[in-house]
Structure 1
Amino acid sequence: MNLLPVLIAGLAGSVHCAGMCGGIVGAFSVGAPRSGGASARVIPIAQAGAGTMAIAASASAHVVAYNAGRIGSYMLAGAVAGGLAGSVASLARLSAFQQAGYWMANLMLIAMGLYLMDAWRGLARVEAAGGVLWRRLQPLVKPLLPMDTPLKALALGGLWGWVPCGMVYSMLLTAMLSGSALDGALAMGAFGLGTLPMLLAMGMAGAKLRQYLQQQAVRVACGLLVLGFGLLGMARTASGSQHGWLDILCLTVQP
Protein backbone atom coordinates (compact mmCIF):
# COMPACT_ATOMS: atom_id res chain seq x y z
CA MET A 1 0.00 0.00 0.00
CA ASN A 2 1.15 3.54 -0.76
CA LEU A 3 0.48 5.39 2.49
CA LEU A 4 1.64 8.85 1.34
CA PRO A 5 -1.27 9.51 -1.06
CA VAL A 6 -3.69 8.08 1.52
CA LEU A 7 -2.33 10.62 4.02
CA ILE A 8 -2.64 13.44 1.46
CA ALA A 9 -6.17 12.38 0.56
CA GLY A 10 -7.09 12.52 4.23
CA LEU A 11 -5.59 16.00 4.52
CA ALA A 12 -7.42 17.27 1.42
CA GLY A 13 -10.65 15.53 2.37
CA SER A 14 -10.59 17.02 5.85
CA VAL A 15 -12.36 20.10 4.51
CA HIS A 16 -15.38 17.83 4.81
CA CYS A 17 -14.44 17.15 8.44
CA ALA A 18 -14.46 20.90 9.06
CA GLY A 19 -18.14 21.05 8.20
CA MET A 20 -19.19 17.70 9.61
CA CYS A 21 -17.04 17.34 12.74
CA GLY A 22 -15.49 20.75 13.41
CA GLY A 23 -18.42 22.12 15.38
CA ILE A 24 -18.74 18.89 17.33
CA VAL A 25 -15.08 18.93 18.30
CA GLY A 26 -15.60 22.45 19.59
CA ALA A 27 -18.68 21.41 21.54
CA PHE A 28 -16.84 18.49 23.15
CA SER A 29 -14.31 20.89 24.65
CA VAL A 30 -16.75 21.82 27.42
CA GLY A 31 -15.03 19.17 29.50
CA ALA A 32 -12.31 21.72 30.36
CA PRO A 33 -14.10 24.72 31.91
CA ARG A 34 -12.48 28.03 32.63
CA SER A 35 -12.94 29.84 35.88
CA GLY A 36 -16.34 31.50 36.01
CA GLY A 37 -18.06 28.66 34.17
CA ALA A 38 -17.09 29.54 30.57
CA SER A 39 -15.91 26.62 28.50
CA ALA A 40 -12.38 26.50 27.15
CA ARG A 41 -11.30 26.08 23.55
CA VAL A 42 -10.28 22.59 22.51
CA ILE A 43 -6.69 23.84 22.43
CA PRO A 44 -6.57 27.13 24.38
CA ILE A 45 -4.06 29.60 22.95
CA ALA A 46 -4.41 32.46 25.45
CA GLN A 47 -1.21 33.32 27.30
CA ALA A 48 -1.69 33.72 31.02
CA GLY A 49 -0.64 32.23 34.34
CA ALA A 50 -0.39 28.73 35.71
CA GLY A 51 -4.17 28.31 35.86
CA THR A 52 -4.57 28.92 32.15
CA MET A 53 -1.65 26.64 31.35
CA ALA A 54 -3.24 23.87 33.41
CA ILE A 55 -6.51 24.32 31.52
CA ALA A 56 -4.62 24.22 28.22
CA ALA A 57 -2.85 21.00 29.21
CA SER A 58 -6.14 19.42 30.30
CA ALA A 59 -7.96 20.41 27.10
CA SER A 60 -5.04 19.24 24.96
CA ALA A 61 -5.14 15.85 26.69
CA HIS A 62 -8.86 15.65 25.92
CA VAL A 63 -8.49 16.41 22.22
CA VAL A 64 -5.50 14.06 21.81
CA ALA A 65 -7.45 11.26 23.48
CA TYR A 66 -10.52 11.98 21.37
CA ASN A 67 -8.57 11.84 18.11
CA ALA A 68 -6.67 8.74 19.26
CA GLY A 69 -10.02 7.01 19.74
CA ARG A 70 -11.30 8.23 16.38
CA ILE A 71 -8.22 7.10 14.45
CA GLY A 72 -8.18 3.85 16.42
CA SER A 73 -11.72 3.07 15.25
CA TYR A 74 -10.65 3.81 11.65
CA MET A 75 -7.76 1.38 12.02
CA LEU A 76 -10.02 -1.30 13.49
CA ALA A 77 -12.42 -0.95 10.56
CA GLY A 78 -9.48 -1.04 8.13
CA ALA A 79 -8.10 -4.19 9.77
CA VAL A 80 -11.47 -5.93 9.50
CA ALA A 81 -11.95 -4.85 5.87
CA GLY A 82 -8.42 -5.74 4.80
CA GLY A 83 -8.44 -9.06 6.63
CA LEU A 84 -11.80 -10.21 5.30
CA ALA A 85 -11.13 -9.15 1.72
CA GLY A 86 -7.65 -10.70 1.79
CA SER A 87 -9.04 -14.00 3.05
CA VAL A 88 -11.73 -14.08 0.37
CA ALA A 89 -9.22 -13.33 -2.38
CA SER A 90 -6.74 -15.98 -1.21
CA LEU A 91 -9.36 -18.66 -0.71
CA ALA A 92 -11.22 -18.05 -3.94
CA ARG A 93 -8.11 -17.23 -6.02
CA LEU A 94 -10.19 -14.65 -7.84
CA SER A 95 -7.99 -12.14 -9.62
CA ALA A 96 -11.18 -10.70 -11.11
CA PHE A 97 -12.27 -9.84 -7.56
CA GLN A 98 -9.15 -7.74 -7.07
CA GLN A 99 -9.45 -6.12 -10.48
CA ALA A 100 -13.05 -5.09 -9.81
CA GLY A 101 -11.98 -3.82 -6.41
CA TYR A 102 -9.30 -1.55 -7.89
CA TRP A 103 -11.80 -0.03 -10.29
CA MET A 104 -14.37 0.48 -7.54
CA ALA A 105 -11.85 2.01 -5.13
CA ASN A 106 -10.71 4.59 -7.69
CA LEU A 107 -14.29 5.33 -8.71
CA MET A 108 -15.01 6.02 -5.04
CA LEU A 109 -12.07 8.45 -4.96
CA ILE A 110 -13.53 10.26 -7.96
CA ALA A 111 -16.92 10.35 -6.23
CA MET A 112 -15.21 11.69 -3.11
CA GLY A 113 -13.52 14.46 -5.09
CA LEU A 114 -16.82 15.46 -6.71
CA TYR A 115 -18.47 15.34 -3.28
CA LEU A 116 -15.89 17.72 -1.80
CA MET A 117 -16.44 20.07 -4.75
CA ASP A 118 -20.24 19.92 -4.25
CA ALA A 119 -20.45 18.81 -7.88
CA TRP A 120 -22.15 15.49 -7.08
CA ARG A 121 -23.79 14.43 -3.82
CA GLY A 122 -23.98 10.70 -4.41
CA LEU A 123 -21.88 9.90 -1.34
CA ALA A 124 -24.48 11.66 0.79
CA ARG A 125 -26.81 8.75 0.03
CA VAL A 126 -24.10 6.33 1.15
CA GLU A 127 -23.83 8.28 4.41
CA ALA A 128 -27.60 8.07 4.85
CA ALA A 129 -27.40 4.27 4.49
CA GLY A 130 -24.66 4.15 7.13
CA GLY A 131 -26.95 6.04 9.48
CA VAL A 132 -28.55 2.71 10.41
CA LEU A 133 -25.35 1.72 12.24
CA TRP A 134 -24.96 5.13 13.87
CA ARG A 135 -28.52 5.06 15.26
CA ARG A 136 -27.57 1.89 17.13
CA LEU A 137 -24.38 3.43 18.50
CA GLN A 138 -25.81 6.85 19.34
CA PRO A 139 -27.28 5.88 22.75
CA LEU A 140 -23.74 4.98 23.88
CA VAL A 141 -22.67 8.62 23.46
CA LYS A 142 -24.92 10.12 26.17
CA PRO A 143 -23.08 8.64 29.18
CA LEU A 144 -19.83 10.07 27.81
CA LEU A 145 -21.03 13.70 27.94
CA PRO A 146 -19.78 16.01 29.24
CA MET A 147 -16.35 14.92 28.01
CA ASP A 148 -14.68 15.76 31.31
CA THR A 149 -11.97 13.07 31.40
CA PRO A 150 -9.44 11.86 28.82
CA LEU A 151 -10.89 8.35 29.15
CA LYS A 152 -14.33 9.64 28.14
CA ALA A 153 -12.71 11.52 25.26
CA LEU A 154 -10.99 8.34 24.07
CA ALA A 155 -14.25 6.37 24.19
CA LEU A 156 -16.18 9.16 22.50
CA GLY A 157 -13.62 9.39 19.72
CA GLY A 158 -13.83 5.63 19.24
CA LEU A 159 -17.59 5.87 18.80
CA TRP A 160 -17.42 8.98 16.64
CA GLY A 161 -15.17 7.12 14.20
CA TRP A 162 -18.25 5.12 13.17
CA VAL A 163 -20.32 8.17 12.21
CA PRO A 164 -21.58 7.69 8.61
CA CYS A 165 -19.08 9.43 6.33
CA GLY A 166 -18.71 8.91 2.59
CA MET A 167 -15.07 9.96 2.79
CA VAL A 168 -14.30 7.22 5.34
CA TYR A 169 -16.21 4.66 3.29
CA SER A 170 -14.18 5.47 0.17
CA MET A 171 -10.95 4.98 2.12
CA LEU A 172 -12.24 1.71 3.60
CA LEU A 173 -12.65 0.37 0.10
CA THR A 174 -8.99 1.18 -0.49
CA ALA A 175 -8.10 -0.57 2.78
CA MET A 176 -9.91 -3.67 1.56
CA LEU A 177 -7.41 -3.96 -1.29
CA SER A 178 -4.44 -3.99 1.06
CA GLY A 179 -4.59 -7.78 1.28
CA SER A 180 -4.13 -8.08 5.05
CA ALA A 181 -5.54 -6.82 8.34
CA LEU A 182 -2.25 -5.06 9.18
CA ASP A 183 -2.03 -3.19 5.88
CA GLY A 184 -5.72 -2.28 6.09
CA ALA A 185 -5.17 -0.84 9.56
CA LEU A 186 -2.09 1.09 8.37
CA ALA A 187 -4.01 2.54 5.41
CA MET A 188 -6.84 3.80 7.63
CA GLY A 189 -4.31 5.02 10.21
CA ALA A 190 -2.58 7.10 7.52
CA PHE A 191 -5.94 8.48 6.43
CA GLY A 192 -6.85 9.37 10.02
CA LEU A 193 -3.53 11.14 10.54
CA GLY A 194 -4.22 13.14 7.39
CA THR A 195 -7.46 14.45 8.92
CA LEU A 196 -5.80 15.17 12.27
CA PRO A 197 -4.27 18.63 11.59
CA MET A 198 -7.64 20.01 10.52
CA LEU A 199 -9.50 18.82 13.59
CA LEU A 200 -6.74 20.05 15.88
CA ALA A 201 -6.86 23.43 14.15
CA MET A 202 -10.61 23.56 14.72
CA GLY A 203 -9.90 23.96 18.43
CA MET A 204 -7.55 26.88 17.86
CA ALA A 205 -9.37 28.88 15.22
CA GLY A 206 -12.89 27.53 15.64
CA ALA A 207 -15.66 28.94 13.48
CA LYS A 208 -13.43 31.32 11.50
CA LEU A 209 -11.33 28.49 10.07
CA ARG A 210 -14.44 26.42 9.46
CA GLN A 211 -15.99 29.24 7.45
CA TYR A 212 -12.83 29.62 5.39
CA LEU A 213 -12.65 25.91 4.61
CA GLN A 214 -16.26 25.85 3.49
CA GLN A 215 -15.53 28.43 0.77
CA GLN A 216 -16.19 27.04 -2.67
CA ALA A 217 -12.68 27.75 -3.98
CA VAL A 218 -11.07 25.80 -1.13
CA ARG A 219 -13.44 22.85 -1.51
CA VAL A 220 -12.92 22.77 -5.28
CA ALA A 221 -9.12 22.78 -4.91
CA CYS A 222 -9.19 19.92 -2.39
CA GLY A 223 -11.78 18.05 -4.43
CA LEU A 224 -9.66 18.30 -7.56
CA LEU A 225 -6.68 16.85 -5.69
CA VAL A 226 -8.64 13.80 -4.56
CA LEU A 227 -10.26 13.52 -7.99
CA GLY A 228 -6.78 13.47 -9.53
CA PHE A 229 -5.77 10.53 -7.33
CA GLY A 230 -8.80 8.61 -8.56
CA LEU A 231 -8.14 9.36 -12.23
CA LEU A 232 -4.46 8.39 -11.91
CA GLY A 233 -5.46 5.15 -10.23
CA MET A 234 -7.94 4.31 -12.98
CA ALA A 235 -5.31 4.99 -15.65
CA ARG A 236 -2.84 2.79 -13.77
CA THR A 237 -5.37 -0.03 -13.41
CA ALA A 238 -6.48 0.18 -17.05
CA SER A 239 -2.93 -0.05 -18.41
CA GLY A 240 -1.85 -2.82 -16.04
CA SER A 241 1.80 -1.85 -16.41
CA GLN A 242 4.43 -0.20 -14.25
CA HIS A 243 4.79 3.58 -14.46
CA GLY A 244 7.71 4.21 -12.12
CA TRP A 245 7.29 7.36 -10.04
CA LEU A 246 3.64 7.68 -11.10
CA ASP A 247 2.81 4.58 -9.05
CA ILE A 248 3.70 6.52 -5.89
CA LEU A 249 0.68 8.77 -6.49
CA CYS A 250 -1.79 5.90 -6.86
CA LEU A 251 -3.68 4.86 -3.74
CA THR A 252 -4.45 1.44 -5.17
CA VAL A 253 -1.51 -0.12 -6.98
CA GLN A 254 -1.76 -3.68 -8.24
CA PRO A 255 1.06 -6.06 -7.31
Structure 2
Amino acid sequence: MMSFHGIGLLPVFLVGLLGSVHCAGMCGGIVAALSAPGQARRAFPAPVRTAGAATFAWPAAATHVAAYNAGRLASYAIAGALAGGLAGGLGRLAGLPVLQVAGYWAANLMLVALGLYLIDAWRGLAWLERGGRVLWRRVAPMLAVLKPFDSPGRLFAAGALWGWLPCGMVYSVLVTAMLSGSAPGGAAVMLAFGLGTLPMLAAIGMAGVRLRTVLQLRAVRAACGLLVLGFGLLGLWRASGGLPAGAAELLCIGAAQ
Protein backbone atom coordinates (compact mmCIF):
# COMPACT_ATOMS: atom_id res chain seq x y z
CA MET A 1 0.00 0.00 0.00
CA MET A 2 1.15 3.55 -0.68
CA SER A 3 2.63 6.01 1.80
CA PHE A 4 1.60 9.60 2.38
CA HIS A 5 3.85 12.34 3.71
CA GLY A 6 6.32 9.71 4.89
CA ILE A 7 3.79 7.52 6.74
CA GLY A 8 3.28 3.97 5.48
CA LEU A 9 -0.45 3.34 5.15
CA LEU A 10 -0.40 -0.47 5.02
CA PRO A 11 0.18 -0.99 8.77
CA VAL A 12 -2.51 1.61 9.52
CA PHE A 13 -4.96 -0.29 7.32
CA LEU A 14 -4.06 -3.59 9.01
CA VAL A 15 -4.50 -2.08 12.47
CA GLY A 16 -8.00 -0.98 11.43
CA LEU A 17 -8.77 -4.43 10.00
CA LEU A 18 -7.57 -6.36 13.05
CA GLY A 19 -8.71 -3.85 15.65
CA SER A 20 -12.24 -3.79 14.27
CA VAL A 21 -13.08 -6.80 16.45
CA HIS A 22 -13.37 -4.14 19.16
CA CYS A 23 -15.97 -2.35 17.01
CA ALA A 24 -18.20 -5.42 17.09
CA GLY A 25 -18.87 -4.86 20.77
CA MET A 26 -18.44 -1.11 21.02
CA CYS A 27 -20.52 -0.18 17.98
CA GLY A 28 -22.64 -3.27 17.42
CA GLY A 29 -25.87 -1.68 18.62
CA ILE A 30 -25.34 1.36 16.41
CA VAL A 31 -24.66 -0.82 13.37
CA ALA A 32 -27.79 -2.89 14.00
CA ALA A 33 -30.02 0.16 14.38
CA LEU A 34 -28.72 1.93 11.28
CA SER A 35 -28.68 -1.19 9.10
CA ALA A 36 -32.27 -2.26 9.66
CA PRO A 37 -34.93 -0.25 7.78
CA GLY A 38 -37.50 -1.50 10.29
CA GLN A 39 -35.60 0.29 13.04
CA ALA A 40 -35.00 3.51 11.15
CA ARG A 41 -37.48 5.48 13.23
CA ARG A 42 -36.02 4.44 16.54
CA ALA A 43 -33.74 6.72 18.52
CA PHE A 44 -30.03 6.43 17.77
CA PRO A 45 -28.66 4.10 20.48
CA ALA A 46 -26.15 5.14 23.11
CA PRO A 47 -22.53 3.96 22.64
CA VAL A 48 -22.80 0.86 24.83
CA ARG A 49 -22.61 -2.85 24.28
CA THR A 50 -25.96 -4.22 23.18
CA ALA A 51 -27.42 -7.50 22.01
CA GLY A 52 -30.28 -8.45 19.77
CA ALA A 53 -30.79 -9.18 16.12
CA ALA A 54 -32.50 -7.04 13.55
CA THR A 55 -34.39 -8.35 10.56
CA PHE A 56 -34.11 -6.35 7.37
CA ALA A 57 -34.25 -6.45 3.62
CA TRP A 58 -30.80 -6.94 2.10
CA PRO A 59 -30.92 -4.23 -0.63
CA ALA A 60 -32.11 -1.56 1.79
CA ALA A 61 -29.61 -2.68 4.43
CA ALA A 62 -26.77 -2.46 1.89
CA THR A 63 -27.76 1.13 1.09
CA HIS A 64 -27.87 1.97 4.78
CA VAL A 65 -24.49 0.34 5.41
CA ALA A 66 -22.86 2.27 2.57
CA ALA A 67 -24.35 5.62 3.63
CA TYR A 68 -23.50 5.58 7.32
CA ASN A 69 -20.02 4.14 6.75
CA ALA A 70 -19.30 6.87 4.22
CA GLY A 71 -20.23 9.42 6.88
CA ARG A 72 -18.06 7.65 9.44
CA LEU A 73 -15.03 7.69 7.11
CA ALA A 74 -15.62 11.38 6.39
CA SER A 75 -15.48 12.20 10.11
CA TYR A 76 -12.29 10.15 10.49
CA ALA A 77 -10.71 12.11 7.64
CA ILE A 78 -11.67 15.42 9.26
CA ALA A 79 -10.24 14.31 12.61
CA GLY A 80 -7.04 13.17 10.91
CA ALA A 81 -6.72 16.45 9.02
CA LEU A 82 -7.11 18.41 12.26
CA ALA A 83 -4.52 16.24 14.05
CA GLY A 84 -2.02 16.31 11.18
CA GLY A 85 -2.44 20.03 10.55
CA LEU A 86 -2.05 20.93 14.22
CA ALA A 87 1.00 18.73 14.68
CA GLY A 88 2.55 20.08 11.47
CA GLY A 89 2.11 23.66 12.62
CA LEU A 90 3.62 22.95 16.03
CA GLY A 91 6.50 21.00 14.48
CA ARG A 92 7.43 23.85 12.16
CA LEU A 93 7.19 26.28 15.04
CA ALA A 94 9.49 24.22 17.24
CA GLY A 95 11.86 23.22 14.45
CA LEU A 96 12.99 20.09 16.33
CA PRO A 97 13.37 16.85 14.30
CA VAL A 98 13.57 14.96 17.59
CA LEU A 99 9.83 15.56 17.96
CA GLN A 100 9.18 13.26 15.01
CA VAL A 101 11.28 10.49 16.54
CA ALA A 102 9.40 10.89 19.81
CA GLY A 103 6.18 10.75 17.83
CA TYR A 104 7.11 7.38 16.28
CA TRP A 105 7.76 6.00 19.74
CA ALA A 106 4.45 7.38 20.98
CA ALA A 107 2.52 5.97 18.01
CA ASN A 108 3.95 2.47 18.45
CA LEU A 109 3.48 2.56 22.21
CA MET A 110 -0.17 3.33 21.51
CA LEU A 111 -0.32 0.24 19.28
CA VAL A 112 1.13 -1.83 22.12
CA ALA A 113 -1.52 -0.37 24.42
CA LEU A 114 -4.23 -1.17 21.85
CA GLY A 115 -3.03 -4.75 21.48
CA LEU A 116 -3.07 -5.22 25.26
CA TYR A 117 -6.53 -3.62 25.34
CA LEU A 118 -7.88 -6.05 22.76
CA ILE A 119 -6.61 -9.10 24.64
CA ASP A 120 -7.91 -7.66 27.94
CA ALA A 121 -4.43 -7.66 29.46
CA TRP A 122 -4.42 -3.93 30.21
CA ARG A 123 -7.35 -1.50 30.03
CA GLY A 124 -5.37 1.73 30.01
CA LEU A 125 -7.04 2.98 26.83
CA ALA A 126 -10.40 2.91 28.61
CA TRP A 127 -9.58 6.21 30.31
CA LEU A 128 -9.27 7.83 26.88
CA GLU A 129 -12.77 6.62 26.05
CA ARG A 130 -14.06 8.01 29.32
CA GLY A 131 -12.50 11.37 28.49
CA GLY A 132 -14.02 11.27 25.01
CA ARG A 133 -17.51 11.02 26.47
CA VAL A 134 -17.28 14.72 27.29
CA LEU A 135 -17.19 15.43 23.54
CA TRP A 136 -19.81 12.75 22.82
CA ARG A 137 -22.30 14.36 25.22
CA ARG A 138 -22.13 17.48 23.06
CA VAL A 139 -22.41 15.62 19.76
CA ALA A 140 -25.11 13.04 20.62
CA PRO A 141 -28.02 15.54 20.93
CA MET A 142 -27.48 16.51 17.29
CA LEU A 143 -28.75 13.07 16.32
CA ALA A 144 -32.26 13.98 17.41
CA VAL A 145 -32.42 16.43 14.50
CA LEU A 146 -31.67 13.65 12.03
CA LYS A 147 -34.44 11.22 13.02
CA PRO A 148 -35.92 9.25 11.41
CA PHE A 149 -32.88 7.61 9.78
CA ASP A 150 -34.76 6.76 6.61
CA SER A 151 -32.68 8.30 3.81
CA PRO A 152 -29.04 8.08 2.62
CA GLY A 153 -28.48 11.73 3.53
CA ARG A 154 -29.68 11.28 7.11
CA LEU A 155 -27.70 8.06 7.45
CA PHE A 156 -24.56 9.74 6.12
CA ALA A 157 -24.95 12.51 8.69
CA ALA A 158 -25.60 9.99 11.46
CA GLY A 159 -22.48 8.07 10.44
CA ALA A 160 -20.46 11.29 10.47
CA LEU A 161 -21.56 11.91 14.06
CA TRP A 162 -20.88 8.27 14.95
CA GLY A 163 -17.25 8.85 13.91
CA TRP A 164 -16.82 11.01 17.04
CA LEU A 165 -17.93 8.27 19.40
CA PRO A 166 -15.28 7.85 22.14
CA CYS A 167 -13.00 5.00 21.05
CA GLY A 168 -9.52 4.23 22.34
CA MET A 169 -8.62 2.53 19.06
CA VAL A 170 -9.42 5.65 17.03
CA TYR A 171 -7.52 7.85 19.46
CA SER A 172 -4.45 5.62 19.20
CA VAL A 173 -4.37 5.94 15.40
CA LEU A 174 -4.80 9.72 15.64
CA VAL A 175 -1.30 9.79 17.14
CA THR A 176 -0.03 8.32 13.85
CA ALA A 177 -2.08 10.88 11.91
CA MET A 178 -0.23 13.61 13.79
CA LEU A 179 3.09 12.19 12.54
CA SER A 180 2.12 12.99 8.95
CA GLY A 181 2.73 16.65 9.75
CA SER A 182 0.00 17.97 7.45
CA ALA A 183 -3.76 18.06 7.11
CA PRO A 184 -3.84 15.97 3.88
CA GLY A 185 -1.43 13.44 5.37
CA GLY A 186 -3.45 13.12 8.57
CA ALA A 187 -6.65 12.66 6.57
CA ALA A 188 -5.00 9.93 4.47
CA VAL A 189 -3.85 8.05 7.58
CA MET A 190 -7.31 8.09 9.13
CA LEU A 191 -8.93 7.09 5.85
CA ALA A 192 -6.57 4.10 5.61
CA PHE A 193 -7.56 3.14 9.14
CA GLY A 194 -11.26 3.63 8.40
CA LEU A 195 -11.04 1.49 5.27
CA GLY A 196 -9.45 -1.22 7.40
CA THR A 197 -12.46 -1.22 9.73
CA LEU A 198 -14.92 -1.15 6.82
CA PRO A 199 -15.02 -4.89 5.92
CA MET A 200 -15.82 -5.88 9.50
CA LEU A 201 -18.43 -3.19 10.15
CA ALA A 202 -20.07 -3.70 6.77
CA ALA A 203 -20.27 -7.44 7.41
CA ILE A 204 -21.75 -6.83 10.86
CA GLY A 205 -24.30 -4.49 9.31
CA MET A 206 -25.37 -7.15 6.84
CA ALA A 207 -25.06 -10.28 9.00
CA GLY A 208 -26.19 -8.82 12.31
CA VAL A 209 -25.86 -10.34 15.75
CA ARG A 210 -24.58 -13.74 14.60
CA LEU A 211 -21.28 -12.34 13.33
CA ARG A 212 -20.95 -10.01 16.29
CA THR A 213 -21.15 -13.01 18.62
CA VAL A 214 -18.32 -14.77 16.77
CA LEU A 215 -16.12 -11.66 16.78
CA GLN A 216 -16.53 -11.25 20.53
CA LEU A 217 -15.14 -14.73 21.23
CA ARG A 218 -12.11 -14.42 23.47
CA ALA A 219 -9.92 -16.42 21.07
CA VAL A 220 -10.75 -14.13 18.12
CA ARG A 221 -10.08 -10.95 20.10
CA ALA A 222 -6.86 -12.42 21.50
CA ALA A 223 -5.55 -13.40 18.07
CA CYS A 224 -6.23 -9.95 16.61
CA GLY A 225 -4.89 -8.22 19.71
CA LEU A 226 -1.65 -10.19 19.59
CA LEU A 227 -1.11 -9.21 15.96
CA VAL A 228 -1.67 -5.52 16.75
CA LEU A 229 0.68 -5.87 19.71
CA GLY A 230 3.25 -7.40 17.35
CA PHE A 231 2.97 -4.41 15.01
CA GLY A 232 3.64 -2.07 17.93
CA LEU A 233 6.63 -4.04 19.19
CA LEU A 234 8.06 -4.25 15.68
CA GLY A 235 7.68 -0.49 15.33
CA LEU A 236 9.43 0.11 18.64
CA TRP A 237 12.26 -2.14 17.51
CA ARG A 238 12.58 -0.11 14.34
CA ALA A 239 12.41 3.20 16.21
CA SER A 240 15.27 2.05 18.43
CA GLY A 241 17.41 1.32 15.36
CA GLY A 242 17.45 -2.43 15.89
CA LEU A 243 15.40 -3.46 12.85
CA PRO A 244 17.42 -3.73 9.63
CA ALA A 245 15.94 -2.45 6.37
CA GLY A 246 13.70 -4.96 4.70
CA ALA A 247 10.15 -6.06 4.01
CA ALA A 248 9.31 -6.06 7.73
CA GLU A 249 9.40 -2.26 7.64
CA LEU A 250 6.16 -2.37 5.63
CA LEU A 251 4.41 -3.48 8.84
CA CYS A 252 5.87 -0.72 11.02
CA ILE A 253 4.35 2.62 11.95
CA GLY A 254 7.06 5.04 10.99
CA ALA A 255 8.58 6.97 8.13
CA ALA A 256 8.16 5.14 4.84
CA GLN A 257 11.41 4.51 3.01
What's the TM-score once normalised by structure 2's chain length? 0.87
C-alpha RMSD of matched pairs (Å):
1.8
> Counterpart in 1 of 2:45?
none
> Counterpart in 2 of 1:86?
88
> Which of 96, 102, 105 is matched with 2:104 structurally?
102
Q: Secondary structure at the match of 1:226?
A: helix
Are 1:222 and 2:224 an aligned pair?
A: yes
Does the 8 Å contact 1:29/1:147 carry over to 2? no
> Counterpart in 1 of 2:127?
125
Q: CA deviation at 1:184?
A: 0.8
How far apart, in 1, do the equivalents of 2:143 and 2:20 lie? 23
> Which of 21, 29, 32 is matched with 2:27 structurally?
21
Are 1:161 and 2:167 an aligned pair?
A: no
| Identity over aligned pairs, percent | 60
Does the 8 Å contact 1:66/1:155 carry over to 2? yes
> Counterpart in 2 of 1:8?
14
Q: CA deviation at 1:222?
A: 0.2
Give 1 or 2: higher helix fraction: 1
Q: CA deviation at 1:203?
A: 2.2
Does the 8 Å contact 2:35/2:206 carry over to 1? no
Further displaced range: 66-75 or 140-149: 140-149
Does the 8 Å contact 1:30/1:148 carry over to 2? no
Q: CA deviation at 1:242?
A: 5.4
> Counterpart in 1 of 2:215?
213
Larger radius of gyration: 1
Q: CA deviation at 1:240?
A: 7.2
User: Cα deviation per residue 1:118-172 (whole Å; 9 max; x = unaligned)?
Assistant: 1111111110011100001110011223310100001000000000000000000
Q: Secondary structure at the match of 1:251?
A: coil
How far apart, in 2, do the equivalents of 1:142 and 1:77 lie? 23
Does the 8 Å contact 1:30/1:146 carry over to 2? no
Tell me the number of residue pairs that the alignment of Structure 1 and Structure 2 aligns.
Answer: 238
* Structure 2 letter corresponding to 1:118: D
Q: For structure 2, which runs of at least 5 residues remain unmatched after alignment? A: 1-6, 41-53
Q: CA deviation at 1:102?
A: 1.2
How far apart, in 2, do the equivalents of 1:221 and 1:241 lie? 24
Further displaced range: 169-178 or 231-240: 231-240
How far apart, in 2, do the equivalents of 1:59 and 1:210 lie? 16
> Counterpart in 1 of 2:79?
77
* Structure 1 letter corresponding to 2:61: A
> Counterpart in 2 of 1:239?
241
Q: For structure 1, which runs of at least 5 residues remain unmatched after alignment? A: 46-55
Q: Secondary structure at the match of 1:141?
A: helix
Q: Structure 1 residues 33, 85: CA separation in 2 closer, same or farther (over 3 Å shift)?
A: closer
> Counterpart in 2 of 1:115?
117
How far apart, in 2, do the equivalents of 1:11 and 1:120 lie? 21
> Counterpart in 1 of 2:44?
none
Q: CA deviation at 1:40?
A: 4.6
Q: CA deviation at 1:32?
A: 5.3
User: Cα deviation per residue 1:73-118 (whole Å; 9 max; x = unaligned)?
Assistant: 0011101111111121122111222122111111100000011111
* Structure 1 letter corresponding to 2:34: F
